[in-house]
Amino acid sequence: MDATQPIIVRIAGRVSPADVPRLCEELSARLTGADATEAICDVGGLTDANLAAVNAVACLQLTARRLGSRIRLRNAGPELRALLDLVGLGEVA
């Protein structure tokens, strides 16, 4: 992967618990073999900051850490930031 191209995973629409494994698989596939210490999770298209979205962010962060990386959110709204702070994931946002 070109070092100038960041790894970006996009979350859009309304996230359901069924979406989480697919998002984690996508991130894992993109990070595996890449020399990236950080991936960007663009949540600008998220339509509902709910607990499923928080779970998705938590699972993405766990997936990234297992692969020696971390995620950083882009375009997170105040509702999602508040929920992430509430569960101790404010550093991601």
CATH classification at residue 13: 3.30.750.24
Tell me whether residue 32 is in a domain.
yes
Tell me whether residue 55 is in a domain.
yes
Tell me whether residue 91 is in a domain.
no
**Strand 39-46, strand 71-74: pairing:** parallel
From the DSSP assignment, how many helices (H) and strands (E) are in the chain? 3, 3
| Residues constituting the chain | 93
pLDDT over 80 (residue 52): yes
Query: What average pLDDT does the segment 33-57 reach?
Result: 94
Q: How many domains does the chain contain in total?
A: 1
- Please report the pLDDT score of residue 2 as a whole number: 52
Full residue range of the structural domain in which residue 38 is found: 7-86
| Global model pTM greater than 0.75 | yes
Tell me whether residue 15 is in a domain.
yes
